A and B are shown apart, each in its own frame.
Chain A
Amino acid sequence: MLSIKNLHASIEGTPILRGINLEVKAGEVHAIMGPNGSGKSTLASVLAGREEYEVTEGEVLFQGKELLPLSPEDRAREGVFLAFQYPIEIPGVSTTNFLRTALNQVREYRGQEPLDAVKFLSLMKEKMALVEIDQKLLSRSLNEGFSGGEKKRNEIFQMAMLNPVLSILDETDSGLDIDALRIVSNGVNKLKSDTTATIVVTHYQRLLDYIVPDFVHVLYKGRIVKSGTKELALELEEKGYDWIKEEVDSTATV
């Protein structure tokens, strides 16, 4: 479904991603871990189409199609969804307010009929229940005065509404208490299917108890330096990242 080949990206001339290779198949869950500043959010942003990052090399195929030339909105319409690490506030725009526009533009792109107000509302009700989010929150200015957990739940709510093919969750677990973590993971698990895939970016093993990955990758200094199964996450939890850093840094100097 997703095939990242030798992806290099920089910001303001500084290389951040330095040759990423990753294959994600339908039905799989991949976890991307790694120390702070290793480029995890950068990878997520590049996949979603953020323009500040300049892709200097490599290609990304999504369902056989070149992803990188597409605008952010077309990537979303093709089925890429990014749950932001730091969801921003937008004063004066509520979730309900923009999501119907978003959903109908996505549907139009996919050749589906637009949803009328009634159908939209009933879809909302269904997905609200999934992440246990209150409708009042959705009619307030986006993320203004939301708690950390509310922001993250709202991201997953939007994901549920837009029904993506590939979901990228960037540190969705950070700032969540254990109940919120359970709710959010439940939501994500219910949305998983044989035809969709999930990339979970996280620092901690904790989330991976709930969303069980098929593969775990360690990103360090802009490269995937180690890949394995969920046992790798446990090992990292136990030993930290230093041994990986040492391994990489010593071979790099050779």
Chain B
Amino acid sequence: MSTLTQQELVLGLFEAAPATFLSLRQLGKESFYAQGMPALKSEEYKFTPIAKKLESGLTDFFPAKPIKISTEQVKSAVFAGFEGVVLVFSNGQYLPELSNSTEGLTVNLLSKTENTPLGSIAKADNDPFTALNQATFTDGLHLSIDNKKVIESPILLLQFHQAQGGQVISPRIWIEAGDFSKATFIDYQVSLDDAPYFVNKVVEIKGGVHADITYHSLQEESNQVIEVSNVVTDIKQDSQFTSTQITLSGDMVRNNLTLNLLESNSVGNMYGLYLLHGKSHVDNHTNVDHTIPHAESNELYKGILADQSRGVFNGKIFVRQIAQKTNAFQQNNNILLSDDAIINTKPQLEIWADDVKCSHGCTVGQLDEEALFYLQARGIDKITARGLLLYAFAGEVLDKIEEDSLRNYIVNQIQKRLGSNF
């Protein structure tokens, strides 16, 4: 694999970039070339050879054009019982005619808000794919929540993806939450068919003071999808940010989640569940940066891996020297259902302050045979018993999802699977 090939790979993307955010794109391009595609030996991507995957899995390295989406498609994709705002995207492009809004939420195309400081939260130099997105995204969305606005009903970012030529989709989203605001976002990615494509997503979330923001992400795409997602948030004083990352499928998926705890009394929660089968490869890299005293982070990621699937978890907790009285908790638990499934899990703690409470732990195990026998001995067939146990394992993460329609939907999808393959 030569660098030249990889540079050639992305040339089409650079050429197709629109004439907006010109200087930003230029910086992104320079940053991308400075970093290059992550090499096989790259520390950050060592278990996830995404560059190689892109080379072999994609045929057409150009931006995917938006495809037509019908109201019926929207209706059938929205979770049963969901009541809230629906923002529809087709291959990363916003479709206002299928979307709605609510009081206190302002929705704008990024191309109409060129003063948006894109790249100030998700920094291009921190990740080559962030840089690539910055240089080549087509358009995206600017969402802002007014100060003091509490939006109780969730905001669904319904992202339809389909690229029959194996092209690239580069969603770019900027969210600004006002002071004392509250909102829940659900980022839901669905494939419309089985053709491969590459999603390179960047979401930047700028929290206000005393804000309470939840960002759920549900990846339920085809098993041909290659994806890199970068979600980065700045968390201010007295604020809380909660992320849940649920991944049910994909060929190779890499999720980078970064929480910057910038002011005191802030709380960052990171919850994740990956339920993998076939040859899915899913890598969750999380990074929480405690930059100030008196902040808290809680992290729980759980995985169930069947067949030849592979999971990677890397949880970085960075506690700076001034960040005294930090509370940081991290847990990663995995169940391997087959001898061929693999998990690489690694806590990465860098703690420079001395008066902190940090704990972390990871477990990798099989399904508890004793528990299975116990349930069978009560008359429950093996498959149902297995489902009950796996569901109980996953439940600890699912319980963190307060939005009923989303949780019920995921529960349903999982149960469908637990009854068959799992």
| A is bound by B | yes
Residues of A in contact with B (beta carbons under 8 Å apart): 48-51, 71-73, 75-77, 82, 84, 87-88, 90-93, 97-99, 101-103, 105-106, 109, 158, 162
Q: In the bound complex, how far is the Cα of B377 from the Cα of A162, in angstroms?
A: 11
Q: Is the CB of A73 within 8 A of B392?
A: no
Contact with A along B96-114 (1 / 0, CB 8 A): 0000000000000000000
Residues of B in contact with A (beta carbons under 8 Å apart): 368, 370-371, 373-382, 384-385, 388-389, 391-393, 395-396
Q: In the bound complex, how far is the Cα of B381 from the Cα of A98, in angstroms?
A: 11
- Selected A-B contacts with CB under 8 Å, 18 pairs: A48-B377, A49-B373, A71-B382, A72-B376, A72-B377, A73-B385, A75-B377, A82-B377, A88-B370, A90-B371, A90-B374, A92-B391, A92-B392, A99-B378, A101-B384, A102-B379, A103-B379, A105-B380
Chain B nearest Cβ from A112, distance in angstroms: 12
Residues of A within 8 A of B381 (CB): 71, 73, 105
Residues of A within 8 A of B391 (CB): 92
Q: In the bound complex, how far is the Cα of B38 from the Cα of A84, in angstroms?
A: 54
Chain B nearest Cβ from A86, distance in angstroms: 9
Q: In the bound complex, how far is the Cα of B322 from the Cα of A167, in angstroms?
A: 64
Residues of A within 8 A of B370 (CB): 88
Residues of B within 8 A of A162 (CB): 378-379
Q: Is the CB of A101 within 8 A of B380?
A: yes
Which of B371, B378, B385, B396 is the one whose CB lies under 8 Å from A88?
B371
Chain A nearest Cβ from B177, distance in angstroms: 33
Q: In the bound complex, how far is the Cα of B380 from the Cα of A73, in angstroms?
A: 6
Assuming A72-B376, A92-B393, what are 7 further A-B pairs, CB within 8 angstroms?
A: A51-B373, A84-B377, A88-B374, A90-B371, A90-B389, A103-B379, A109-B379
- CB closest residue in chain B, given A104: B379
Q: In the bound complex, how far is the Cα of B121 from the Cα of A249, in angstroms?
A: 79
- CB closest residue in chain A, given B387: A101
Which of A48, A87, A102 is the one whose CB lies under 8 Å from B380?
A102
Q: In the bound complex, how far is the Cα of B368 from the Cα of A93, in angstroms?
A: 13
Residues of A within 8 A of B396 (CB): 92
Q: What are the 5 closest A-B residue pairs judged by CB atoms, nearest first?
A: A92-B392, A76-B379, A72-B376, A106-B379, A102-B378
Q: Is the CB of B395 within 8 A of A92?
A: yes
Q: In the bound complex, how far is the Cα of B382 from the Cα of A88, in angstroms?
A: 17
Question: Max chain B CB contacts within 10 Å: which of A50, A51, A73, A105?
Answer: A73
Q: Is the CB of B389 within 8 A of A93?
A: yes
Given A90-B392, A93-B392, check contact A72 B371 (CB 8 Å): no
- CB closest residue in chain A, given B399: A92
Given A71-B382, A73-B382, check contact A91 B373 (CB 8 Å): no
Chain A nearest Cβ from B47, distance in angstroms: 29
Residues of B within 8 A of A77 (CB): 379
Q: In the bound complex, how far is the Cα of B374 from the Cα of A158, in angstroms?
A: 12
Residues of A within 8 A of B393 (CB): 91-92
Which of A71, A82, A105 is the one whose CB lies under 8 Å from B384?
A105
Q: In the bound complex, how far is the Cα of B374 from the Cα of A72, in angstroms?
A: 9
Q: In the bound complex, how far is the Cα of B377 from the Cα of A76, in angstroms?
A: 6
Q: Is the CB of B379 within 8 A of A84?
A: no
Q: Is the CB of B376 within 8 A of A73?
A: yes
- CB closest residue in chain B, given A91: B392
Residues of A within 8 A of B375 (CB): 90, 93, 98, 102
- CB closest residue in chain B, given A107: B379
Chain B nearest Cβ from A201, distance in angstroms: 15
Q: In the bound complex, how far is the Cα of B392 from the Cα of A98, in angstroms?
A: 11
Q: Is the CB of B376 within 8 A of A76?
A: yes
Q: Is the CB of A84 within 8 A of B374?
A: yes
Chain B nearest Cβ from A133, distance in angstroms: 16
Q: In the bound complex, how far is the Cα of B385 from the Cα of A71, in angstroms?
A: 13
Chain A nearest Cβ from B304, distance in angstroms: 13
Residues of B within 8 A of A103 (CB): 379
Residues of A within 8 A of B378 (CB): 76, 98-99, 102, 158, 162
Residues of B within 8 A of A99 (CB): 378
Q: In the bound complex, how far is the Cα of B374 from the Cα of A98, in angstroms?
A: 11
Q: In the bound complex, how far is the Cα of B385 from the Cα of A67, in angstroms?
A: 21
Question: Max chain A CB contacts within 10 Å: which of B368, B371, B376?
Answer: B376
Chain A nearest Cβ from B341, distance in angstroms: 21
Q: In the bound complex, how far is the Cα of B227 from the Cα of A252, in angstroms?
A: 71
Residues of A within 8 A of B392 (CB): 90-93
- CB closest residue in chain A, given B395: A92
Which of A72, A92, A97 is the one whose CB lies under 8 Å from B373?
A72
